[in-house]
Amino acid sequence: MPSDQSTWVIAVPNDGDAEGLAQELHSKLIHYSRLTSLAQFEIPSFKTGTLDTLIALSEDIPKQEVFFTATVAKTVDTLRSLLNNDPTKLAQHILVNEKSVDDYLFKDWKWDEGRYGIQKALREIIDSLAKEMTSIDNAMKAKLNNYNLVKGSLTQMQRKKMGNLSVRSLADIVSRDDFIEDSEYLETLLVAIPK
């Protein structure tokens, strides 16, 4: 059974009665799952190539799907932790074209032929999707790394400013007048003693 954050995509052949097929699927899926809505996707006809190509793709696609799912889940988990597990804030950041994922999928989704032209072979389309997802994953890792570096620097600065006197800057506590300068026999030492 899928989680409440998953979306099922079911491919069935269209024998001309798409509306009747959708109603039949809807009634069966409601009976067996917690289905909330059903939408039809118009998928264009692709250049399939040879049988060998399709077999190779059928072996590669599950690997790509695992990578894609892991990348999206990692991104959402990172956002969730950065937003302190606040679902309303998370919903504001998980958008597709300024719409919630469900609204985009069920109302606005269509195949982007400009980006993934149907005149290309399936292998090219999958390779471009994989390249794009790798780019997103690398950008996410770089941004998270930069965030962690800045967060560490901020924590260190706060510790120096607000921490105990063994790590904190003493510039706002002692002044130049508190030091004995140019003495041959005296040396000024600062000692921090806990209360």
Per-residue pLDDT of the chain (195 residues; tens, 9 = 90+): 455 567 777 777 777 777 788 788 888 877 776 666 777 788 888 888 889 999 999 999 999 999 999 999 999 999 999 898 888 888 888 888 899 888 888 888 888 888 888 888 889 999 999 999 999 999 999 999 999 999 999 988 887 777 777 777 777 788 888 888 888 888 888 887 777
Strand partners, 20: none
Whether the model pTM is above 0.75:
no
Q: At CA 22, angle to CA 17 and CA 24, rounded to 5?
A: 95
Residue 3 has what pLDDT? 57
Residue 171 has what pLDDT? 78
CA distance 174 to 178: 6
Give the tokens for residue 71.
Answer: 């990348």
